[in-house]
Structure 1
């Protein structure tokens, strides 16, 4: 369900589905030599249960742009955002800044708050009292297509 679209993020609310979950093999998958097939056990895995800790406070947003590529957040990646988590120094946060949503790394110290991109082609943003600024949520996971 689409909630909001800005220049840098498109927000979605997760939808719960009953009896969903993909097959999950809890033995690990070898990147070397294959292991015998009888060594694994099959279970069901729900990405909702794995990625969403607080359903009412969790949203998805699709990344648009390249400012966080150094943190592994690429254009079109899907972010899992938890609004119930406390913002803290060095966390990756979705912020509302002067009428736009953005995703950046929080830098907090006694001198103030900065939003730091992880791409040298983008400037660090110092938050001042003149800014309309809210830390909207903390990124907990990123989902990528391969």
Structure 2
């Protein structure tokens, strides 16, 4: 019975890790009461990514969106297949620089709004080189400083795509 529950529970992506099935049935008695409610492991790709080919990860490197709960160093999951509509938080290229802002549109005007008063909003007009790279769907906020240090060490100092600017080297911190 437990083999059926845990079938296909392991992550099948490109990263390698081991997920072990834990048998709780006891040969001399009853299994644990929670066995009736056992579920397979949680696959974060399955839970957080709606359209895999259109999704990328982006590391926030400013506190411009702190009011929206996005801190510097957070990893954003961005979906290029979702349309940028008013109120959505997007990754945008403005005149060659990448930024994360809330997209606000009213009638014939559009503005990229920061969620921190220390940053200016950006008005989009016909003279602005604007391109939406996608809508932010999830924020991964690492709480343990040891994990942050591990991520930097394991990536050789390289981080996922960051808002450094198109001409400033996207994969450098």
TM-score, normalised relative to structure 2? 0.63
Unaligned regions of 5+ residues in structure 2, if any? 1-12, 21-31, 144-173
Aligned 1:59-74 pairs, distance under 5 A: 59-74=56-71
The structure with the greater share of residues assigned to helix is 2
Aligned length: 119
CA RMSD of aligned residues (A): 2.3
Relative to structure 1, the CA distance from residue 17 to residue 110 in structure 2 (aligned partners, 3 Å threshold; closer, same or farther) is same
Higher-Rg structure is 2
2:123 equivalent among 123, 126, 130: 126
The structure with the greater share of residues assigned to strand is 1
Structure having greater relative contact order (Cα 8 Å, sep ≥ 6): 1
Unaligned regions of 5+ residues in structure 1, if any? 1-15, 24-36
Give the Å deviation of 1:20: 6.1
Does the alignment pair 1:103 with 2:100? yes
1:89 equivalent among 70, 73, 86: 86
Report the Cα distance in structure 1 between the residues aligned to 2:89 and 2:82, rounded to whole angstroms: 11
Equivalent residue number for residue 43 of structure 1:
40
Relative to structure 1, the CA distance from residue 135 to residue 55 in structure 2 (aligned partners, 3 Å threshold; closer, same or farther) is same
Report the Cα distance in structure 1 between the residues aligned to 2:104 and 2:119, rounded to whole angstroms: 15
Report the Cα distance in structure 2 between the residues aligned to 1:87 and 1:123, rounded to whole angstroms: 20
Equivalent residue number for residue 6 of structure 1:
none
Relative to structure 1, the CA distance from residue 130 to residue 22 in structure 2 (aligned partners, 3 Å threshold; closer, same or farther) is farther
Is the Cα contact below 8 Å between 1:94 and 1:139 reproduced in 2? yes
TM-score, normalised relative to structure 1? 0.74
Report the Cα distance in structure 2 between the residues aligned to 1:71 and 1:22, rounded to whole angstroms: 34
